[in-house]
Amino acid sequence: MPKIVRFHELGGPEVLKIEDLPSREPGKGEVRLKVQAIGLNRAESMFFHGQYLEAPQLPARLGYEAAGVVEAVGPGVDKSWLGRQVATIPAFSMNAYGVLGEEALSPVAALGEYPARLSPVEGAAIWMQYLTAYGALMEFGRLQKGDFVLITAASSSVGIAAIEIARAEGAITIATTRTSSKRKEIIELGADHVIATQEEDLAARVKEITEGQGVRIIFDPVAGPMLETLAEAAAPHGIIFEYGALAGQPTPFPLFAALSKWLTIRGYTLMEITSVPEKLAVARKYVYDRLQDGRFRPRLAKIFSFSQTVDAYKYLESNAQVGKIVITVP
């Protein structure tokens, strides 16, 4: 029987258990993967803490991103998928398709092939980060050459993907991190400017960098009280994308900044892209082409073995990483 990660109660990483469960046959429109690697995401941590957009149905599986080989297909699925090297795209509920295990079921519509030049470990570090950044910056933000873009929590895998996209499009990136300890790495990853928010005045530094213009696009997973500072740093007619809640605090609406600058402040998740087949097709090609020619390259922070799943999520919650944390499966 394959080993699968589940949890039976809410809590920290310690609630995660590796269990032997019967193999499942794919149903209509589904495939089964022999998993080789799993990419970790903050969404999964929020899921087992009970703080995510949907509540887990206990006992619950988890996991959005698995790279592996298609070993079985269900009714209605083209058999040419068999044997292909793919990775799952977060286009489903974890209550239905948690992929953290030695095998995983996935809707065929949520599969993304990746260039052969990449390893399965890198393949597990693609779709969540690049599609999340693509949707905000390109699909809805209409990023243009010369735009100033503020990217908070820039050492995360999504933050790094946003830096790569902005750089590829000729935009000017201002990345934030809490302290200077990650500044050098973030600059090496392509950021034009880095602000350490616990050491510097964010709004003042943005004003200095942009020569008083402010930033047109702000891409933020933190929210909380910092939103007021982000609104202060925004340019007139700017747009702020809130795609997370890392602050874990209420998020006051910056009314006067929004009124005086005519700001757009909107919630956003990559499901706005992955739930629309036409948009997903365009986004998938955008990312694949840039992975293929080397403009994008997944940045790996640390690799854990499957037996170290609890330790891997503890490391994720430590916020020590720069890039993606990946679990390898024997």
Mind listing the pLDDT tens digit for each residue in 12-64? 999 999 999 999 999 999 999 999 999 999 999 999 999 999 999 999 999 99
Would the pLDDT of 130 be above 90?
Answer: yes
Position 282, amino acid: V
pLDDT of residue 103: 97
pLDDT tens digit string along 144-154?
Answer: 999 999 999 99
Stated pTM of the model = 0.94
pLDDT of residue 181: 92
Q: How far is CA 111 from CA 85, 86, 227, in A?
A: 10, 6, 35
In the three-class reduction of DSSP (H, G, I as helix; E, B as strand; rest coil), residue 157 is classed as helix
The mean per-residue pLDDT over the stretch 117-132 comes to 97
Would the pLDDT of 248 be above 90?
Answer: no
pLDDT of residue 330: 87
Rounded-to-integer distance, Cα 330 and Cα 279, Å: 34
From first CA to last CA, the distance across the chain in angstroms is: 14
Give ranges for CATH 3.40.50.720 in the chain: 129-271
pLDDT of residue 56: 97
The mean per-residue pLDDT over the stretch 97-115 comes to 96
The mean per-residue pLDDT over the stretch 95-121 comes to 96
| Domain 3-126+298-328 belongs in CATH node 1.20.120.1760 | no
Residue 87 contacts residue 124 (beta carbons within 8 Å):
yes
CA neighbours closer than 13 Å in the CB half-sphere of residue 208:
9
CATH of domain 129-271: 3.40.50.720
pLDDT > 90 in the chain, percent: 98
Neighbours of 81 (CB within 10 A): 16
pLDDT tens digit string along 276-323?
Answer: 999 999 999 999 999 999 999 999 999 999 999 999 999 999 988 999
Pair type for strands 65-73 and 148-151: unpaired
pLDDT, the chain, mean: 96
Q: How far is CA 151 from CA 69, 89, 106, in A?
A: 34, 23, 31
| Residues counted in the chain | 330
Give ranges for CATH 3.90.180.10 in the chain: 3-126+298-328
Residue 141 contacts residue 117 (beta carbons within 8 Å):
no
